[in-house]
Amino acid sequence: GAVVSQHPSRVICKSGTSVKIECRSLDFQATTMFWYRQFPKQSLMLMATSNEGSKATYEQGVEKDKFLINHASLTLSTLTVTSAHPEDSSFYICSARKNPGTEEAFFGQGTRLTVV
Amino acid sequence: GIQVEQSPPDLILQEGANSTLRCNFSDSVNNLQWFHQNPWGQLINLFYIPSGTKQNGRLSATTVATERYSLLYISSSQTTDSGVYFCACTGSARQLTFGSGTQLTVLP
Protein backbone atom coordinates (compact mmCIF):
# COMPACT_ATOMS: atom_id res chain seq x y z
CA GLY A 1 0.00 0.00 0.00
CA ALA A 2 0.87 3.64 0.34
CA VAL A 3 0.85 5.95 3.33
CA VAL A 4 -0.92 9.29 3.51
CA SER A 5 -0.50 11.24 6.71
CA GLN A 6 -2.83 14.03 7.79
CA HIS A 7 -2.26 16.48 10.62
CA PRO A 8 -3.74 17.46 12.98
CA SER A 9 -6.19 14.68 13.70
CA ARG A 10 -8.35 16.92 15.83
CA VAL A 11 -8.57 20.68 16.25
CA ILE A 12 -10.82 23.08 18.10
CA CYS A 13 -10.74 26.73 17.14
CA LYS A 14 -12.65 29.90 17.85
CA SER A 15 -14.99 31.49 15.34
CA GLY A 16 -13.19 33.87 13.05
CA THR A 17 -9.81 32.20 13.24
CA SER A 18 -8.09 30.17 10.53
CA VAL A 19 -7.01 26.56 10.67
CA LYS A 20 -4.45 24.79 8.47
CA ILE A 21 -4.62 21.06 7.77
CA GLU A 22 -1.67 19.23 6.23
CA CYS A 23 -1.78 16.17 3.99
CA ARG A 24 1.46 14.34 3.19
CA SER A 25 2.22 11.37 1.02
CA LEU A 26 4.99 9.65 2.98
CA ASP A 27 6.33 7.03 0.58
CA PHE A 28 5.30 8.23 -2.86
CA GLN A 29 4.89 11.38 -4.91
CA ALA A 30 1.49 12.74 -5.85
CA THR A 31 0.89 15.52 -8.34
CA THR A 32 -2.78 15.43 -7.43
CA MET A 33 -4.42 15.22 -4.03
CA PHE A 34 -8.09 15.41 -3.14
CA TRP A 35 -9.87 17.02 -0.21
CA TYR A 36 -13.18 15.64 1.09
CA ARG A 37 -15.58 16.72 3.81
CA GLN A 38 -17.83 14.40 5.76
CA PHE A 39 -20.70 15.50 7.98
CA PRO A 40 -21.99 13.14 10.70
CA LYS A 41 -23.80 10.07 9.39
CA GLN A 42 -23.17 11.15 5.80
CA SER A 43 -20.89 10.12 2.97
CA LEU A 44 -17.72 11.82 1.80
CA MET A 45 -18.17 14.78 -0.52
CA LEU A 46 -15.34 16.02 -2.72
CA MET A 47 -14.44 19.63 -2.00
CA ALA A 48 -11.50 20.25 -4.31
CA THR A 49 -8.69 18.73 -6.31
CA SER A 50 -5.24 19.93 -5.38
CA ASN A 51 -2.68 20.15 -8.20
CA GLU A 52 1.04 20.49 -7.55
CA GLY A 53 2.33 23.78 -8.87
CA SER A 54 -1.02 25.11 -10.05
CA LYS A 55 -4.37 26.29 -8.77
CA ALA A 56 -6.77 23.91 -7.11
CA THR A 57 -10.02 22.94 -8.77
CA TYR A 58 -13.05 23.44 -6.54
CA GLU A 59 -16.36 21.60 -6.70
CA GLN A 60 -19.53 23.56 -7.23
CA GLY A 61 -20.68 25.26 -4.07
CA VAL A 62 -17.29 25.22 -2.35
CA GLU A 63 -15.94 28.71 -1.65
CA LYS A 64 -12.35 28.91 -2.87
CA ASP A 65 -11.64 32.01 -0.76
CA LYS A 66 -12.78 30.23 2.36
CA PHE A 67 -11.02 26.92 1.76
CA LEU A 68 -7.53 27.81 0.59
CA ILE A 69 -5.56 24.95 -0.92
CA ASN A 70 -1.83 24.96 -1.53
CA HIS A 71 0.06 22.08 -3.15
CA ALA A 72 3.63 23.33 -3.01
CA SER A 73 5.44 20.02 -3.42
CA LEU A 74 4.87 16.51 -4.71
CA THR A 75 4.31 15.24 -1.17
CA LEU A 76 2.39 18.00 0.59
CA SER A 77 -0.97 19.67 0.19
CA THR A 78 -2.54 22.01 2.73
CA LEU A 79 -6.12 23.07 3.32
CA THR A 80 -6.69 26.29 5.25
CA VAL A 81 -10.15 27.01 6.55
CA THR A 82 -10.25 30.80 6.80
CA SER A 83 -12.49 32.79 9.14
CA ALA A 84 -13.99 29.59 10.45
CA HIS A 85 -17.60 29.45 11.59
CA PRO A 86 -19.44 26.76 13.56
CA GLU A 87 -21.04 25.47 10.35
CA ASP A 88 -17.52 24.62 9.09
CA SER A 89 -17.25 22.04 11.86
CA SER A 90 -16.82 18.74 10.08
CA PHE A 91 -14.48 15.85 9.32
CA TYR A 92 -11.96 16.74 6.60
CA ILE A 93 -10.01 14.00 4.87
CA CYS A 94 -7.47 14.00 2.08
CA SER A 95 -6.46 11.37 -0.44
CA ALA A 96 -3.73 10.82 -2.98
CA ARG A 97 -2.73 8.39 -5.69
CA LYS A 98 0.75 7.22 -6.52
CA ASN A 99 2.13 9.10 -9.47
CA PRO A 100 2.47 7.56 -11.94
CA GLY A 101 0.65 4.40 -11.11
CA THR A 102 -2.73 2.87 -10.60
CA GLU A 103 -5.99 4.63 -9.94
CA GLU A 104 -6.07 3.29 -6.37
CA ALA A 105 -6.51 6.09 -3.84
CA PHE A 106 -5.16 6.18 -0.30
CA PHE A 107 -6.57 8.32 2.48
CA GLY A 108 -5.19 10.22 5.41
CA GLN A 109 -6.50 9.71 8.92
CA GLY A 110 -8.78 12.72 8.68
CA THR A 111 -9.08 15.91 10.74
CA ARG A 112 -12.04 16.57 12.98
CA LEU A 113 -12.58 20.32 13.10
CA THR A 114 -14.75 21.90 15.76
CA VAL A 115 -15.39 25.63 15.59
CA VAL A 116 -16.70 27.16 18.82
CA GLY B 1 -20.96 12.74 -13.05
CA ILE B 2 -21.07 9.12 -12.05
CA GLN B 3 -23.76 8.01 -9.58
CA VAL B 4 -22.98 5.40 -6.94
CA GLU B 5 -25.68 3.60 -4.96
CA GLN B 6 -25.12 1.20 -2.11
CA SER B 7 -27.46 -1.26 -0.47
CA PRO B 8 -28.57 -2.03 2.11
CA PRO B 9 -28.12 1.22 4.05
CA ASP B 10 -28.12 -0.65 7.35
CA LEU B 11 -27.34 -4.26 8.20
CA ILE B 12 -27.41 -5.99 11.56
CA LEU B 13 -25.88 -9.44 11.89
CA GLN B 14 -25.15 -11.98 14.52
CA GLU B 15 -21.49 -12.83 14.93
CA GLY B 16 -20.53 -15.67 12.60
CA ALA B 17 -23.07 -14.80 9.92
CA ASN B 18 -22.23 -14.01 6.31
CA SER B 19 -23.28 -10.88 4.43
CA THR B 20 -23.28 -9.32 0.99
CA LEU B 21 -23.08 -5.59 0.33
CA ARG B 22 -23.93 -4.21 -3.08
CA CYS B 23 -22.70 -1.22 -5.08
CA ASN B 24 -24.34 -0.08 -8.31
CA PHE B 25 -22.78 2.56 -10.52
CA SER B 26 -24.21 4.54 -13.40
CA ASP B 27 -21.36 4.56 -15.91
CA SER B 28 -18.21 2.74 -16.90
CA VAL B 29 -15.49 3.04 -14.28
CA ASN B 30 -11.70 3.29 -14.27
CA ASN B 31 -11.52 2.56 -10.58
CA LEU B 32 -13.72 0.97 -7.96
CA GLN B 33 -12.68 0.69 -4.35
CA TRP B 34 -14.24 -0.67 -1.18
CA PHE B 35 -13.41 0.95 2.14
CA HIS B 36 -14.17 0.30 5.78
CA GLN B 37 -14.45 3.43 7.89
CA ASN B 38 -13.49 2.73 11.47
CA PRO B 39 -14.98 4.48 14.51
CA TRP B 40 -12.20 7.10 14.39
CA GLY B 41 -13.02 7.99 10.81
CA GLN B 42 -10.03 6.37 9.14
CA LEU B 43 -10.79 4.89 5.74
CA ILE B 44 -9.24 1.47 5.44
CA ASN B 45 -8.63 0.26 1.88
CA LEU B 46 -10.27 -3.13 1.45
CA PHE B 47 -10.17 -3.70 -2.29
CA TYR B 48 -9.14 -1.94 -5.46
CA ILE B 49 -11.32 -3.81 -7.92
CA PRO B 50 -12.42 -2.14 -11.18
CA SER B 51 -13.19 -5.63 -12.48
CA GLY B 52 -12.91 -9.28 -11.53
CA THR B 53 -12.79 -11.01 -8.17
CA LYS B 54 -10.40 -10.67 -5.25
CA GLN B 55 -10.21 -12.26 -1.84
CA ASN B 56 -8.48 -11.22 1.35
CA GLY B 57 -9.11 -13.50 4.29
CA ARG B 58 -12.78 -13.45 5.22
CA LEU B 59 -13.50 -10.69 2.74
CA SER B 60 -13.93 -10.98 -0.98
CA ALA B 61 -15.22 -8.70 -3.72
CA THR B 62 -16.49 -9.07 -7.24
CA THR B 63 -17.02 -6.35 -9.82
CA VAL B 64 -18.99 -7.01 -12.99
CA ALA B 65 -18.12 -3.90 -14.94
CA THR B 66 -20.36 -4.71 -17.92
CA GLU B 67 -23.38 -4.86 -15.61
CA ARG B 68 -22.21 -1.92 -13.46
CA TYR B 69 -22.21 -3.44 -10.04
CA SER B 70 -19.84 -4.70 -7.38
CA LEU B 71 -20.39 -6.96 -4.39
CA LEU B 72 -18.51 -7.17 -1.12
CA TYR B 73 -18.79 -10.45 0.77
CA ILE B 74 -18.04 -10.77 4.46
CA SER B 75 -17.94 -14.29 5.80
CA SER B 76 -17.99 -15.43 9.44
CA SER B 77 -18.50 -11.84 10.58
CA GLN B 78 -16.89 -10.59 13.78
CA THR B 79 -17.79 -7.67 16.03
CA THR B 80 -14.68 -5.87 14.78
CA ASP B 81 -16.22 -5.85 11.29
CA SER B 82 -18.76 -3.28 12.50
CA GLY B 83 -18.61 0.14 10.92
CA VAL B 84 -19.47 1.83 7.67
CA TYR B 85 -18.53 0.28 4.34
CA PHE B 86 -18.16 2.59 1.38
CA CYS B 87 -17.93 1.89 -2.29
CA ALA B 88 -16.31 4.60 -4.42
CA CYS B 89 -15.80 4.89 -8.16
CA THR B 90 -13.87 6.95 -10.67
CA GLY B 91 -15.40 7.54 -14.06
CA SER B 92 -14.05 9.79 -16.79
CA ALA B 93 -13.06 12.33 -14.17
CA ARG B 94 -10.24 11.28 -11.85
CA GLN B 95 -11.91 11.98 -8.55
CA LEU B 96 -13.58 9.28 -6.50
CA THR B 97 -17.33 9.49 -6.03
CA PHE B 98 -18.60 7.77 -2.91
CA GLY B 99 -21.79 5.89 -2.32
CA SER B 100 -23.86 6.61 0.76
CA GLY B 101 -22.41 3.65 2.62
CA THR B 102 -23.68 0.59 4.47
CA GLN B 103 -23.72 0.74 8.26
CA LEU B 104 -22.86 -2.76 9.47
CA THR B 105 -23.45 -3.81 13.06
CA VAL B 106 -22.26 -7.24 14.18
CA LEU B 107 -23.74 -8.37 17.46
CA PRO B 108 -21.84 -10.69 19.83
Mean pLDDT of all residues belonging to chain B: 95
Q: Across residues A23-51, what is the average pLDDT?
A: 93
Q: Across residues A12-40, what is the average pLDDT?
A: 95
| A73-111 pLDDT, tens digit each | 999 999 999 999 999 999 999 999 876 667 889 999 999
Q: Which chain A residues touch B101 with a CB distance below 8 Å? A: 43
Q: How confident is the model at residue B99 (pLDDT cuts 50, 70, 90)?
A: very high
Instruction: Show Cβ contacts of residue B32 under 8 Å, excluding neighbours closer than 6 positions.
Output: B23, B25, B48, B49, B50, B63, B70, B87, B88, B89, B90
Question: Measured between CA atoms, how close is B3 to chain A, in angstroms?
Answer: 13
Asked if residue B108 has a cis previous peptide bond (ω within 30° of 0), the answer is no
Q: Searching chain B, which residue's CA lies closest to the CA of residue A47?
A: B95
Q: Which chain A residues touch B63 with a CB distance below 8 Å? A: none
The dihedrals phi and psi of A43, each to the nearest 5 degrees, come to -85, 180
Q: What percent of chain A has pLDDT over 70?
A: 97
| B39-83 pLDDT, tens digit each | 889 999 999 999 999 999 999 999 999 999 999 999 999 999 999
Q: Is B40 helix (H, G, I), strand (E, B) or coil?
A: coil
Counted residue by residue, chain A has a size of 116
Residues 13-32 of B with CB under 8 A from A: 30-31
What pLDDT score does A25 carry? 93
- Residue pair A103/A32 in contact by the 8 Å Cβ criterion: no
